[in-house]
């Protein structure tokens, strides 16, 4: 029966100091349908790659010179940018102590070499699905934060409709809330703009009324009436 091809292309990093092992594992991954495969020949190269490229899963050999798999895993878990990248440890050591140590250091799973292709496929799928769900959770929390921040921005009069553009595209309840919130915020902004325009119009009318009242007050004074009489006499004489 043909093996199912993943619906998306996760990025996988294979770390092994043995060229034959890297080639064999890469070929197996390609047969499973994974195409975005990177290679590292030692632990330091693996860490450099991880810090420069987004990676969905690491297949990490335990026994390597200079920096072994345990040390790589330890450094990954100490790095906030890498601590959530899932790692499957691969080793020829078929010992419970090695398995326990890997799990204690934060590995998602463990495979013994030569690895069973059925187990490899199952554990790859399980790790990648777990990461997908975690990424969704992180994105959800970030979107909740954006909605909360938008509420504060509206209250402070600094809301921009683009702030919730990405969240509003979600098909779930949070996306619906973001769309409703954005619509309400736009309505509030429109009402505020209308009120400002009305206030500006009222100010102009008030200024005009004040000017008319001032003119009226001036024209009703005795001094102004006396000037009007003198002006009338001058016009009659001329």
DSSP 80: T
User: What are the domain boundaries of the chain?
Assistant: 12-135, 160-238
CATH number for the segment(s) 12-135: 3.40.50.2300
Which three-class secondary structure state does DSSP give residue 14? Answer: strand
Instruction: Assign 58 a pLDDT band (cuts: 50, 70, 90).
Output: very high
CB 130, CB 164: distance < 8 Å: no
Q: Is the pTM of this model over 0.95?
A: no
Average of per-residue pLDDT values in the chain: 80
pLDDT tens-digit map of 114-143: 778 888 899 999 999 988 888 888 877 877
- List the structure tokens of 115: 């690895």
pLDDT in tens, 80-113: 899 889 999 988 766 678 878 888 888 998 888 7
Q: Which residues contact 93 (CB under 8 A, 6 or more apart)?
A: 62, 63, 112
For the segment 142-190, what is each residue's pLDDT rounded down to a tens digit?
777 777 777 776 666 666 666 677 777 778 777 777 777 677 667 767 7
| 49-55 contacts, C-beta under 8 A, 24 or more apart | 49/13, 50/13, 50/76, 50/82, 50/85, 51/79, 51/81, 51/82, 53/11, 54/11, 55/11, 55/12, 55/13, 55/85
């Amino acid at each position: 029966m043909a093996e199912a091809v993943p619906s998306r292309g996760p990025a996988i990093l294979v770390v092994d100091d043995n060229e034959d092992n890297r080639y064999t594992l890469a070929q197996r991954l390609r047969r499973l349908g994974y195409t975005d495969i990177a290679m590292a020949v030692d632990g330091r190269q693996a860490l450099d790659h991880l810090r420069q490229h987004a990676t969905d899963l690491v297949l990490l050999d335990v026994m390597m010179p200079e920096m072994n798999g345990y040390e790589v895993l330890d450094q990954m878990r100490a790095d906030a940018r890498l601590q959530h990248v899932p790692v499957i440890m691969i080793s020829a050591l078929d010992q419970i102590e090695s398995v326990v140590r890997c799990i204690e250091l934060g590995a998602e799973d463990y495979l013994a070499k030569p690895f069973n292709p059925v187990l490899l496929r199952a554990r790859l799928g399980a790790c990648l699905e777990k990461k997908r769900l975690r990424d969704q959770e992180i994105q959800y929390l970030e979107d909740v934060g954006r909605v909360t921040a938008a509420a504060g921005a509206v209250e402070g009069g600094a809301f921009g409709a683009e702030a919730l553009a990405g969240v509003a595209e979600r098909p779930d309840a949070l996306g619906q809330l973001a769309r409703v919130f954005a619509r309400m915020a736009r309505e509030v902004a429109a009402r505020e703009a209308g009120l400002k325009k009305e206030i500006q119009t009222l100010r102009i009318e008030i200024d005009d009324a004040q000017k008319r009242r001032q003119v009226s007050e001036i024209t009703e004074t005795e001094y102004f009436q006396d000037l009007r009489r003198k002006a009338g006499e001058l016009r009659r004489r001329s």
